[in-house]
Amino acid sequence: MKNSFARLAAAVVIGAVASTSLMAKTTNKYTSYLFTYFTGNAPQEEQIRYALSEDGWNYTPLNNGNPIIASDTIALKKAVRDPHILRGEDGYFYQVVTDMASSQGWASNRGLVLLRSKNLINWEHHTVHFPEKYKGTNFANVTRVWAPQTIFDVDAGKYMVYYSLLTNDGSIPYDKVYYQYANADFSDLEGEPKVLFDVNNASIDTDIVRDDDGMYHVFFKTEGQREKGIKQFIVKNLHNITTADLQPGFCQDTKEAVEGAGVFRLFDGTWVLMYDCYMNGHYQFCKSTDLKTFKQVQNTATKGLFTPRHGTVIAITAEEEALLKAWSDLSQEVEHLAKRAVPTLTLYQLQNRQSMIDEIKATLKAEASLKAYQAQQKHLKDFYSK
């Protein structure tokens, strides 16, 4: 049915938008999929993790399921949630995450973290703390800056970050989706937040994709209604969102409580809708050919190394996959070496263990390099031969 959005507080003002998630078809230079996610509500689980997949359905965690970057080094709250990853138009990868420790309460979130990388391993990072940045305005009173995502606005030539906001002063009485442009080096947000869309009810966890006909599909979770779930509306021109086709029913193929919708396309053209069944401890993957009807395919396990919470997937190249695997293997090697029992080491290995550990850590901390990782593995092999 047609649903009028003329009552929106503001129209979406982005132009032609391009991102990995928005491409009509995934180009054939990509060979596998990278899932970035967190795993739970404890501080040690509110960390960015990676998993790889060859088919888009079944994922294997990198680094033995350990974080790829420690949250206490990037976030004011020392914990992060809801990582969204984007392949940029300029050779960079971009991530945005919720700066939040749920152990401090669900109204404890005051900002987000912006990250940028050339190689998926070494990340520049900057926090945006709303009470400080917007002191004296209603945006200083936020209690939620939830689930940020990034897209590229071709007309503006800038990256646009959008997220849900809620304040404790009544000025934003329910979660609304806002947006801002990032500055040139992705270290801050420009201006004040503006409304992206408002459906007159709480909305969170927005994700936008574009189909082969150029129609934009805006997925979001209804949070304030009696029946909660993933909705979508479809619009031709994001410059003019005064009318949109709000799809009937919900997108999820389950009766479980869900959040954190993420949509991406497989190499064979199949669309995947995945979401977090947060009350039951698993993720669910669905497939679609028309981006309107979704059929459940499989759930993730509730135990083990791969128990993802709200995250996103991008396609990566064989070279990027090789680099990530080499980094992961070397990260595990240094952990293994540090834990080796003394009786299992030769006198030479015992005497030189710490220097080898320091050398490997220095290699991992330096700019990511497949050649450097391979050379370090060779050196480690020589170490174990003595």
**Measured between alpha carbons, how far is 174 from 17 in angstroms, rounded to an integer?**
27
Judged against a pLDDT cut of 60, whether residue 12 lies above it is answered with no
**Measured between alpha carbons, how far is 205 from 66 in angstroms, rounded to an integer?**
25
175-224 pLDDT, tens per residue? Answer: 999 999 999 999 999 999 999 888 889 999 999 888 888 888 999 999 87
Q: What is the DSSP secondary structure assignment for residue 45, as one 8-state letter?
A: T
List of residues 6+ apart from 27 with CB closer than 8 A: none
φ/ψ bin of 240: left (φ > 0), alpha (ψ from -120 to 50), beta (otherwise): beta
Q: Is residue 298 within 8 Å of 281, Cβ to Cβ?
A: no
22-59 pLDDT, tens per residue? Answer: 444 555 699 999 999 999 999 999 999 999 999 999 99
Domains and their CATH numbers in the chain: 3-316 (2.115.10.20), 323-384 (no CATH)
Number of C-beta neighbours around residue 142 at 10 A: 24
Question: What is the chain's percent helix, strand, coil content, to nearest 5?
Answer: 20, 35, 45
Cα distances from 127 to residues 77, 93, 99, in angstroms, run 10, 17, 8
Does the pTM exceed 0.85? yes
Q: Give the DSSP H/E element, type plus range, for residue 196.
A: strand 194-197
Extended beta strands in 223-317, E state: 229-235, 243-246, 259-265, 271-277, 282-288, 295-299, 312-316
